Amino acid sequence: KQLGRVLDASLLYEPRPSTPRKINHCSPTANVLLVAHCIQDGDEHKVTVSSGFALKAASQLQEESLVVTCAHTFEEIRRSPLMLAAHGQSRRVSSGSFVICSEGIFPVTDIISSLPRSDLMIMSCKNPQLTTLPVSPYPAHPGTRVLGHLVSHEHLEEPGWSPWIRSSWSKWAGGTVLGYRDFAGRETMPGTYDALSHLLFSPLPTAGSSGGPIVDEETGAVIGVMLGTRMDNRVEGTRGWGVPSETIFEMFSLPGLEGKK
């Protein structure tokens, strides 16, 4: 029922955030969140993890935060054999989603809105103190230098990695916006009437970094969300695959129109 739902709140436009809110190489990676979807049936269990980040928008519930993440890790749990078998036998299983940060583990109370075609969803979380990231509504042009939040679940010797959450590691890695595609896979460009459904970028996301931010290195604002990797063509090879941050705004009211139907 939350498919494509437009919230009665607006997401703050921050194409050029103030200095304290800008994201750069030195920004705490702890401001990016770990999202876990879990299911248990007796001795059997399954967990999928992704990244996410909190949004600067009013929640319907005063003591909660709104967190955006990718949708495919949630769908992986929802369609897992454990869940399907339980439904087929009319049995209840233990399941839940959690936002994990340096302060602790906080249950997800609801899926507020989702755009499955764009692989995005917004959840509410029982922690009103999560640090929000600035989000730009404007697409970055190809060639724009960006930072991607990468995750590793083992300690790597490469420079730049720092402890993240629950024995995992992360870092801000430099890269570039490589281009855009519409839902049919055709090349599109900012400044035209074409739909900018997905973006191609470097560096390549690592396992667990899906749902994490892509940041404009100059402005310090989020301009996209990482989803994974995709083979672009045989010449260019595998590239990072994500969605531009303007897609997040599709789930929010326009400024000044909150609560209007």
- pLDDT confidence of residue 235: 65
Query: Taking a C-beta distance cutoff of 8 angstroms, is the pair 6, 249 a contact?
Result: no
Amino acid 89: pLDDT: 64
For the entire predicted model, the pTM comes to 0.92
- Percent of the chain's residues with pLDDT above 90: 67
Task: Tell me what the mean pLDDT of segment 167-189 comes to.
Answer: 94
The whole-number average pLDDT for the span 26-48 is 89
